[in-house]
Structure 1
């Protein structure tokens, strides 16, 4: 059962549910709707209300509403909520800030504190010599900095963010087609890949230009991606590693499996991103451990409660 909790109140029995989170997005998204008999009343939520979203009693995300719509006719009333987790402010806001001499974890904490977004760091981070925002969204700069460090920055149940490495823990479950997996889709997204990757930067300490390159042998035509380095002063080797990381991540991300499984939980609890699962699909010669990169909890009249899992090899996030 999905419930929302705010100001000491609880509302349950939603008829339509879509709750999505991804390791590539800073904010989880929530869509809930219900139609009941009678004229109904306002929900009591405003722009400032913080709402906990629970599945079977466990908080899966904490949001503010982006929009609330009410529809009333002679026999019924309906209400729909769209919202995102608290880190949405890092996505929507345009902000200016210059920081220097901070480790990545300190930088993330500083920006999150400005927007009252909870953050948890579970990784060792290195120095980011210079970090600057000029009337722009903090989210893009934070995601790029995390990727350059081979780390993930993704939404947590309290509405905040986790900065950590891709999980290497044991699989939380084993999913077999025909037993646990109701349907699957194998995706080869070629547009994510490029023939060559060129990372350019400048080492101000040693007063020299930096350049690193990597090629994808699977793309036989000219399709370049040039990247301005997110970090400076890391030397030529750092630029080369960043180019290899970008190539490896895109190769792995371009090949993924989307699974539909019944329910919202496994034996250990509610499904979560950045956890590993063993997937067995004999028809595709698939039998291995994959990382959950995206998930969506859904509920509708046709299929009931389902979880859509997008899984890929850990290298899609770890890079090297």
Structure 2
């Protein structure tokens, strides 16, 4: 069951639910809807409200509303809420700030403090010689700096952000097609890849131009990507290393799997991004450990409670070459599908 909590009140039994988060986004997104008989009354949420979203008494998002829509007719009333977590201000706002001689962790802390966004730092970070925003979104600059450092920066349940490495922890669950997995999609997004990567920069200390490049041997036609390196990225080993990171990350991200699994939890709790799962799909020769990059909870009167997980190899977030293909999956007996619980069955 999904509940929202604010001003000491709790509202439950939402009929339509979508709660999504991604390691590539600084704000989680929430959509809730319900229709009841009668004319109803205002929910009490306004533009300044901070709302906790709970699943099974676990906070999964802390949000501010983007829109509240109340619709009333002679027989019923409905409420629809669209909202995002507190990091949305870093996404929406245009801001100017210049910071010099600070580590990436301190830059993240300062910008989050400015916008009153909680932050957790769980990584060692290098010095960023110069970091400047000029009438631009803080989110874009922060995400680019985190990627250049091979780190993740993503929304947390308290509404804030976490700067950390892609997890190397053991899988939290094993998901088998026909058992926990209802359906899946294997996605090869070829447009993410280029035949060659050229990174250009400038060393102001020595007053000389810099460049580095690398090729993707899998692309057999001319499709170049030229990148102007920022100063934050150059601290990771130069333009050659930056080009390698870009190629390897794009090769890994071009192949992903979307999984629809029953319910919103596993044995250890609610599904979370930046955790690993073992995925077994025998007919696709898939049996390996993948990192959850995107997670979306949903509830409707057709499928009941479901979770969409987008998983990729951990190398997709590290910029490392993918390992050799895993051995063919062992055969699993196909278990009976778990019954779907409809919203109308909730008590």
The interval holding the TM-score normalised by the smaller chain is: over 0.9
For residues 231 and 317 of structure 1, the distance between their equivalents in structure 2, rounded to whole angstroms, comes to 21
Contact 2:233 2:242 in 1 (8 A): no
TM-score if structure 1 supplies the norm length? 0.98
Deviation at residue 231 of structure 1 after TM alignment: 2.3
For residues 177 and 165 of structure 1, the distance between their equivalents in structure 2, rounded to whole angstroms, comes to 29
Tell me the residue number matched to 1:240. 240
| SS of the residue 1:247 aligns to | helix
Tell me the residue number matched to 1:13. 13
Gaps of 5+ in 1: none
Question: Alpha carbons of 1:236 and 1:19: their partners in 2 closer, same or farther (altered >3 Å)?
Answer: closer
Tell me the residue number matched to 1:274. 274
Tell me the residue number matched to 1:155. 155
Tell me the residue number matched to 2:86. 86
Deviation at residue 232 of structure 1 after TM alignment: 5.5
Contact 1:99 1:131 in 2 (8 A): yes
For residues 54 and 235 of structure 2, the distance between their equivalents in structure 1, rounded to whole angstroms, comes to 47
Deviation at residue 233 of structure 1 after TM alignment: 8.9
Gaps of 5+ in 2: 321-347
Deviation at residue 235 of structure 1 after TM alignment: 7.1
Contact 1:50 1:64 in 2 (8 A): yes
Question: Alpha carbons of 1:221 and 1:56: their partners in 2 closer, same or farther (altered >3 Å)?
Answer: same
For residues 232 and 257 of structure 1, the distance between their equivalents in structure 2, rounded to whole angstroms, comes to 31
User: What does residue range 23-38 of structure 1 map to in structure 2 within 5 Å?
Assistant: 23-38=23-38
1:107 partnered with 2:111: no
| SS of the residue 1:4 aligns to | strand
Number of residue pairs the alignment of both structures matches: 320
User: What does residue range 148-227 of structure 1 map to in structure 2 within 5 Å?
Assistant: 148-227=148-227
Deviation at residue 107 of structure 1 after TM alignment: 0.4
| SS of the residue 2:231 aligns to | coil
Contact 2:234 2:242 in 1 (8 A): no
- Residues 262-320 of structure 1: per-residue CA shift (max 9 Å, x gap): 00000000000000000000000000000000010000000000000000000000113
1:133 partnered with 2:133: yes
Deviation at residue 207 of structure 1 after TM alignment: 2.1
Tell me the residue number matched to 2:308. 308
For residues 151 and 307 of structure 1, the distance between their equivalents in structure 2, rounded to whole angstroms, comes to 25
RMSD of aligned residue pairs (Cα, Å): 1.2
Contact 1:210 1:235 in 2 (8 A): no
| SS of the residue 1:283 aligns to | helix
Deviation at residue 236 of structure 1 after TM alignment: 9.6
- Residues 142-175 of structure 1: per-residue CA shift (max 9 Å, x gap): 0000000000000000101000000000000000
For residues 309 and 235 of structure 1, the distance between their equivalents in structure 2, rounded to whole angstroms, comes to 34
Tell me the residue number matched to 2:124. 124
Deviation at residue 212 of structure 1 after TM alignment: 1.4
Tell me the residue number matched to 1:70. 70
TM-score if structure 2 supplies the norm length? 0.91
Deviation at residue 205 of structure 1 after TM alignment: 2.1
